[in-house]
Structure 1
Amino acid sequence: MTTFTKRDFLAGSAALAGGAIAMPSVLRAQATVLRWGEMLPTTHPQVQMVERIAKQVKEKSSGRIDIQAFPAGQLGSGKDMMESVASGALTMTTDGAAALGSFLPQLSVVEAPYLWRDAAHMAKVAKAPVFTQMNAELEKKRGMRMAAVTYYGKRHLTTGSKAVKSVADVAGLKLRVPPVDTFRAMVEAWGAKATPVNFNELYLALSQGAVDGQENPLPTIHSAKLQEVQKHLILTGHIITPRLVIVNGDFWKGLKDADRSLLEAAIAEGVAWQDAELASQEGSLVATLKAAGMSVTEPDLASFSKPVLATLPQQFEGKWGKGTWDALAAL
């Protein structure tokens, strides 16, 4: 896959925008190009999902719709790409609900720790009235809409040198978190030091000891090769994470109905494949990571959940809206 930097992308976008006026209409009509940026590496099922969607859309549209994928943080950080989607410089990306909360604060509840019972419970959020309302507000205020909810996996803790059997063992450890307030609050409730690091800088931060540990789903740990720089896998399962497919609102509204329906169908099929693939990988990756040299611990789960549930829902009630946590938990 061609390496493509954020600078190249922005320069190319500007050139395309400037040249569109002089381009003959027959050429302009040849293809609708969608640029889809991703933070994850090409080995992750989320990126493979994008490639499957692109292939299906190209075939079904006879080449009229061309989705170009830019994985592995080629176009910048997750926040960079979400801002580009909001402005229209980028068509689509995927990111976590908590990260998208920087654009619409109440959305971060969808990725709150200890909220969802399982993946099926989390999947119900896409049809919940509160989610429909959030989507409408996101489009109105920030020019983006959520086209789909995907399953990203159950998040677990890893550490470099310290074995962890209960929350007391993480006291004082520097744990990497995404630059998201709810993640910081969770780690601080555990008694650890929350240290924000962008995902594309995480491997280096762990290898150099800038942070002692991190938390992510098993497929992400494996695809990013974090087992090379972390010795201990602690099966905390503290967050069941959705990732949201995000699209520029004006682009979406500007599509012909038939093209929008084609994209919706391809996205739905891609998401179904990705969700099943991730669930399948989760079933085997503990053994894979253990074989790669990681020690695997099943810790005292209550010791991790208790301090978080005692503080976090109340702490963020003003941001999420009164009763939102309870409404989602009851789905």
Structure 2
Amino acid sequence: MTKLTKRDFIAGATATGAAICMPAIARAQAIVLRWADGQAMNHPSPQSAVKAGLEIKEKTGGRIDIQTFPAGQLGSSRDMVESVASGALTMVTEGAALLGQFVPQISIIEAPYIWRDPAHMTRALKSPLMDELNKVLGEKRGMRVIGVTYYGIRHLTSGSRAINSVEDMKGFKLRVPEVDTFRAMAEAWGAKPTPLNFSELYLALSQGAVDGQENPLPTIQSAKLAEVQKYLVLTGHIITPRLVIVNDAAWSKLTEADRAIVRSAIETASAWQDAEIVSQENSLADTLGKAGMTVLKPDLESFRKPVLATLPAKFESKWGKGLWDRIQGL
């Protein structure tokens, strides 16, 4: 994997554009698809992109070359999604809630307490619902979903305050992604939502700029948050899918056969990632406890009740009337 700075990326994109004007003989080279991810390379998400890239390269005889850029090398989550929309970047793996800033309806699939369990999420995202959301994403922003992965169940961490019920969240400075539904969730708990890009999180926690954060266990582990957080609070408030998004124009330039190869490789790599995430989730609470965190099992209903009392109604106009209830019925 090549480390690329944002400056290198912009220069490379300019060079690629210039290459289009070169004679056909000079352009007889691999099709390069740049695939970004905000997660560190020790997380299964960017690892699955590498696995998919190797399979794609092998099955196309090297005609398609996937270049992967983990750890937010190409900017913040918003930067990367905007780059895919504009065509400056080919692909990104990102959470659905952030994509809601571009297509409001899609954020519902990462809403707090929308899923009963991971099986409910998987079943819904293989239903016509995903086709409908994908159609809107393509029409409005020139992007499409070509893969869905399981990112994990999100839990809280705290630096200095034990959290046993939602009452303990009053005034708590909670880092959340730069997403309105996450802010609303924190507010329903009585916390003070503090939106930060993921790449800024470790430093903010270490300096006390925020009191805590929320993420799945594999992310807490890969980002080494146990070094700067004392308490792991098993709230399980969101079951999170992540989406593999591609620029629609770049996708349409591939042959149908090549698109099938890319989809198949992503599906295989995603299945590996999903299994790896589940495996890690089964043991990481104990692992993080042994690393020095105090593991707490809070009053779950106290967290759930205020969110469900306010959030579905607050975002109904954004998601579409009846969509929450429809998903609950799947």
What is the TM-score when the length of structure 2 is the normalising length? Answer: 0.98
Which residue of 1 is the match for residue 44 of structure 2?
45
Q: How does 1:226-241 map to 2 (within 5 A)?
A: 226-241=225-240
Q: How big is the shift at 1:16?
A: 1.7
* Correspondence 1:151 to 2:150: yes
Distance in 2, Cα, partners of 1:135 & 1:48? 25
Task: Give CA-to-partner distance per residue, 1:81-130, whole Å, 9 cap, x none.
Answer: 10110111100001111000011001110000011011111012222223
Which residue of 1 is the match for residue 317 of structure 2?
318
Structure 2 counterpart of 1:219, one-letter code: P
Which residue of 2 is the match for residue 297 of structure 1?
296
Task: Give CA-to-partner distance per residue, 1:41-95, whole Å, 9 cap, x none.
Answer: 0000001100000111111111111000011110000110101101111000011
Which residue of 1 is the match for residue 100 of structure 2?
101
Which residue of 2 is the match for residue 251 of structure 1?
250
Q: How big is the shift at 1:12?
A: 1.2
Which residue of 2 is the match for residue 89 of structure 1?
88
Q: Secondary structure at the match of 2:243?
A: strand
Structure 1 counterpart of 2:3, one-letter code: T
* Correspondence 1:20 to 2:35: no
Task: Give CA-to-partner distance per residue, 1:217-265, whole Å, 9 cap, x none.
Answer: 0000000000100000000000000000000001111210110110011
Structure 1 counterpart of 2:195, one-letter code: P
Q: How big is the shift at 1:287?
A: 0.8
Distance in 1, Cα, partners of 2:270 & 2:328? 23
Which residue of 2 is the match for residue 224 of structure 1?
223
Distance in 2, Cα, partners of 1:26 & 1:116? 52
Contact in 1 for aligned 2:19/2:27 (Cα 8 Å): no
Distance in 2, Cα, partners of 1:120 & 1:182? 22
Task: Give CA-to-partner distance per residue, 1:2-56, whole Å, 9 cap, x none.
Answer: 321112101110122113312x423423211100011000000001100000111
Which residue of 1 is the match for residue 201 of structure 2?
202
Q: Secondary structure at the match of 2:129?
A: helix
Q: How big is the shift at 1:195?
A: 0.3
Contact in 2 for aligned 1:116/1:329 (Cα 8 Å): yes
* Correspondence 1:122 to 2:121: yes
Which residue of 2 is the match for residue 5 of structure 1?
5
Structure 1 counterpart of 2:51, one-letter code: R
RMSD between aligned residues? 0.9
Contact in 2 for aligned 1:148/1:268 (Cα 8 Å): yes
Distance in 1, Cα, partners of 2:139 & 2:172? 41
Contact in 1 for aligned 2:158/2:230 (Cα 8 Å): yes
Structure 2 counterpart of 1:67, one-letter code: I
Contact in 2 for aligned 1:175/1:212 (Cα 8 Å): yes
Task: Give CA-to-partner distance per residue, 1:260-281, whole Å, 9 cap, x none.
Answer: 1100110110111100000000
Distance in 1, Cα, partners of 2:27 & 2:290? 53
Q: How big is the shift at 1:160?
A: 0.1
Task: Give CA-to-partner distance per residue, 1:274-310, whole Å, 9 cap, x none.
Answer: 0000000000101110010000001000000000000
Query: Any runs of at least 4 consecutive aligned residues in structure 1 with deviations exceeding 2 A, and if so which?
Result: 125-131
Structure 2 counterpart of 1:323, one-letter code: G
Distance in 1, Cα, partners of 2:204 & 2:84? 28
Distance in 1, Cα, partners of 2:328 & 2:276? 26
Distance in 2, Cα, partners of 1:294 & 1:113? 25
Instruction: Extract unaligned runs of 5+ from structure 2.
Output: none
Question: How many equivalent residue pairs?
Answer: 330
Contact in 2 for aligned 1:126/1:148 (Cα 8 Å): no
Which residue of 2 is the match for residue 63 of structure 1?
62
Distance in 2, Cα, partners of 1:253 & 1:25? 20
Distance in 1, Cα, partners of 2:313 & 2:111? 12
Distance in 2, Cα, partners of 1:64 & 1:150? 26
Distance in 1, Cα, partners of 2:141 & 2:123? 24
